[in-house]
């Protein structure tokens, strides 16, 4: 089981379990696990990496896990000899069974398990552009844990699960927010300071990061080594931090190589603060109608100790700015060459890989890991009925949300 000390990245000081922040600065906390080598367990899904997850028990029914396979189709199109895909979605023919079709399933399960273990923990408040809320709603349907979700109105179509919603007083309260993801975050921030409610912490939550880190662990296990390059579409960049942290653990393990994979992170311009911050290019005004809106986070954990900037610097990383047109074309290329549907966000990563191959920043023989962060929604519909989650109320101010929650008591 995951025995660990929680340390600030900045000064390595040990902090109390379940902390989300450091006392001296805005550093991220990181789990310092007792286990120094990866010893997979015979447990379902990501729980096989239990030594490197900040939990003691498991939610056995939450068995979604990344699947790493060697690409033929896309690899051929791009002239790459060692392209591996980490598929995070629903694709049973390849053994991929993520219940809500994105790698947010990797974050939700360990976070909810950590909450079960922490005893007097409050109701979790989650603000989401859709995929995170859906993943957490699914786990809550399995465990019955209460959950308060804030989702922008525009993203409500993403609120489905394959488990039928419980009628009457279910564990999930869904509140729709007039505005964008950022407005949803701001309302959630106000509500989570009320008694009985608590923040899940986003990038500050080690269960989220180490859950996503299993993408790198699974790849290393499949390949027998770490890849040379890691490609992912990012909003907050948390997945990039997670891949780097998992690689640091694998490096210390000693059996999977000593070079950290280079991070290649991709954003959809103009909604691309990490891209502008890293490249120093002049930021363009954000746009409200993008090919991908999951990837827009206005306040990514960029310049904090242990954050995205450190991850990029320490891995000689790169950040790509991908236009809508490039992402649309990359999505078509991926879907026709790999024969599975993907979400819009990972198409942004596919476009970045294409650019890197053309520019020569990856060599045809390099070992490359492409994280397809979500896919198989069309595939899952062939086998499952998707049940829509309906909002109990729509709000535009946090006071309205508080009034509604007071009334529910």
Ligand X SMILES: *Cc1c(COP(=O)(O)O)cnc(C)c1O
Q: Please report where in the chains the tokens 């993008």 appear, as a residue.
A: 290
Instruction: Name which position in 294, 312, 319, 352 contacts ligand X (CB under 6 A).
Output: 294
Within residues 216-245, the interface with ligand X by CB under 6 A covers 233-240
Q: How far is the CB of 233 from ligand X (least distance, A)?
A: 5
Member of 86, 100, 123, 131 binding ligand X (CB under 6 A): 131
To the nearest whole angstrom, how small is the minimum distance from the Cβ of residue 239 to ligand X?
3
Q: List Cβ<8 Å contacts ≥24 apart for 42-48.
A: 45/109, 46/106, 46/109, 46/110, 46/211, 46/214
Helix (H) or strand (E) holding 321: strand 318-322
Residue nearest to ligand X (CB): 239
Print the binding letters for residues 315-354 with ligand X: x by CB under 6 A, - otherwise.
Answer: ----------------------------x-xx--------
Residues in the interface with ligand X (CB under 6 A) total: 18
Kindly tell me which of 368 and 395 has the beta carbon lying closer to ligand X.
368
CB of 265 to ligand X, least distance (A): 8
Question: In degrees, to the nearest 5, what angle opens at C-alpha 248 toward C-alphas 244 and 252?
Answer: 165
| Residue number, 173 or 236, with CB nearest to ligand X | 236
**Does residue 374 bind ligand X (CB under 6 A)?**
yes
Q: Which residues contact residue 296 at a Cβ distance below 8 angstroms, ignoring those fewer than 6 apart? A: 129, 180, 181, 235, 268, 271, 286, 290
Q: Is 100 one of the binding residues for ligand X (CB under 6 A)?
A: no
Distance between CA atoms of 398 and 214, rounded to whole angstroms?
35
CA 109 vs. chain centroid, Å, equals: 12
Cβ closest to ligand X, residue 2 vs residue 374: 374
> Which C-beta is closer to ligand X: that of 253 or that of 292?
292
Q: Is 109 in the site for ligand X (CB under 6 A)?
A: no
373 binds ligand X per the rule CB under 6 A:
yes
CA distances from 255 to 214, 216, 251, 279 (A): 17, 14, 8, 34
> Is position 104 an interface residue for ligand X (rule: CB under 6 A)?
yes
- Measured from the CB atom, the residue of 104 and 249 that comes closer to ligand X is 104
In the complex, what is the shortest distance from the CB of residue 235 to ligand X, in angstroms, rounded to a whole number?
Answer: 4
State the Cα–Cα distance between residues 178 and 201, nearest whole angstrom: 22
Please, what is the minimum distance in Å from the beta carbon of residue 3 to ligand X?
26
Is position 185 an interface residue for ligand X (rule: CB under 6 A)? Answer: no
Q: What is the rounded distance in angstroms from the CA atom of residue 407 to the CA atom of residue 192?
A: 17
233 with 267: CB under 8 angstroms?
A: yes
- Name, in order, each residue with C-beta under 8 angstroms of 167's C-beta and a sequence gap of 6 or more: none
Please state the closest distance from residue 183 (CB atom) to ligand X, in A: 18
Residue with tokens 């120094």, as numbered in its chain = 36
CB of 253 vs ligand X, minimal distance in Å: 23
Task: Give the interface with ligand X as residue ranges (CB under 6 A).
Answer: 102, 104, 131, 233-240, 294-295, 343, 345-346, 373-374
């Amino acid at each position: 089981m995951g025995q660990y000390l929680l340390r600030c990245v900045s000064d390595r000081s040990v902090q109390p379990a379940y902390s989300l922040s450091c006392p001296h600065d805005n550093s991220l906390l990181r789990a310092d696990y007792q286990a120094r080598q990866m010893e997979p367990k015979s447990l379902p899904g990501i729980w096989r990496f239990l030594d490197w997850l900040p939990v003691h028990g498991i939610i056995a029914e939450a068995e979604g896990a990344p699947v790493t396979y060697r690409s033929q189709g896309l690899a051929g199109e791009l002239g790459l000899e060692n392209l591996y895909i980490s598929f995070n979605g629903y694709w049973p023919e390849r053994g991929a069974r993520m219940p809500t079709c994105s790698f947010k399933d990797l974050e939700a399960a360990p976070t909810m398990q950590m909450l079960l273990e922490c005893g007097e923990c409050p109701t979790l408040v989650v603000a989401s552009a859709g995929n995170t809320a859906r993943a957490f709603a699914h786990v809550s349907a399995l465990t019955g844990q209460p959950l308060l979700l804030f989702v922008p109105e525009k993203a409500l179509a993403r609120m489905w699960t394959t488990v039928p919603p419980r009628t009457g007083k279910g564990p999930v309260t869904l509140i729709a927010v007039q505005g964008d993801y950022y407005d949803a975050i701001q309302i959630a921030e106000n509500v989570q300071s009320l008694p009985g409610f608590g923040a899940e912490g986003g990038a500050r939550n080690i269960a989220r990061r180490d859950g996503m880190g299993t993408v790198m662990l699974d790849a290393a296990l499949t390949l027998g080594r770490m890849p040379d390059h890691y490609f992912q579409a990012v909003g907050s960049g948390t997945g990039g931090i997670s891949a780097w942290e998992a690689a640091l653990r694998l490096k210390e393990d000693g059996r999977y190589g000593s070079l950290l994979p280079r991070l290649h992170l991709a954003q959809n311009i103009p909604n691309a603060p990490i891209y502008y911050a890293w490249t120093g290019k002049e930021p363009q005004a954000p746009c409200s109608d993008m090919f991908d809106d999951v990837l827009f986070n206005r306040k990514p954990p960029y310049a904090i100790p242990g954050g995205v900037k450190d991850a990029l610097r320490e891995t000689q990383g790169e950040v790509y700015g991908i236009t809508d047109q490039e992402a649309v074309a990359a999505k078509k290329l991926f879907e026709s060459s790999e024969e599975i549907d993907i979400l819009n966000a990972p198409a942004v990563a596919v476009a970045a890989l294409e650019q890197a191959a053309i520019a020569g920043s990856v060599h045809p023989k390099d070992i490359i890991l492409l994280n397809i962060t979500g896919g198989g929604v069309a595939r899952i519909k062939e086998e499952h009925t998707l049940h829509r989650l309906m909002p109990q109320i729509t709000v535009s101010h946090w006071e309205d949300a508080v009034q509604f929650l007071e009334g529910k008591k």
